[in-house]
Amino acid sequence: MDAVQTMPTERRAANAGRRLAFVLGALCALLSFGAARAAGGAAPARIVARSPDYRLVGLLRGETMSLRVSRTLDDAPVTNATVVAEFRGRSYPATSTVDGGYAFSAPDLGVPGAAAFAFRIAVAGRVETLRGTLQPSARKADSGHGRVRQLGWWVLNFSVCIGFLWLLARRRKRTGS
């Protein structure tokens, strides 16, 4: 009869162990999802330069900057311009892209520190210069390591608490309370 009475207790303990493993697995999956999201969710650095006639927005990804030029008056894209970017003493001509923007690559874009830009825009014989500064803090987007570490601590704390409660419940069942 003792074997018959202990069987449900052993089953409950096994089920509790399975539940604990499931909860820990779910928390680990959540942790890995948070790490993947933090690694892939970094926003590119951005620069905005304006003049009375034009607005330029540049997005920096590695050593390539993609540019969008629009008219200030009606926010219409400017697709027929010649764009030259000047920074750190060098000029870099931008090539037009398929989507109506412009892009240029330069190894100096990866150098840390603030960079002052001058963009020359030539449209129909008229040249205008737009100026802007790319700040170092804007370059390095939040990598998310602090959030992932915090999530890891929460997973660890919940795991320890759940494990402690499971062991406490198992001990109470053994003593017959």
- Where exactly are the structural domains of the chain? 2-41+143-175, 45-139
**pLDDT, tens only, 50-74:** 999 999 999 988 889 999 999 999 9
Distance CA 118, CA 94 (A): 13
DSSP 122: E
The answer to which of 20-29, 45-54, 117-126, 145-154 has the lowest mean pLDDT is 20-29
Specify the pTM.
0.56
Contact of 64 with 71, CB cutoff 8 Å: no
The confidence score (pLDDT) of residue 141 equals: 47
Q: Count how many Cα atoms sit within 13 Å of the Cα of residue 86 in the half-sphere of its side chain.
A: 8
If residue 116 lies in a helix (H) or strand (E), which one and from where to where? strand 115-123
Q: How many helices (H) and strands (E) does the chain have?
A: 3, 9
45-139: CATH class? mainly beta
**pLDDT, tens only, 108-149:** 888 877 889 999 999 998 999 999 998 764 444 455 567 777
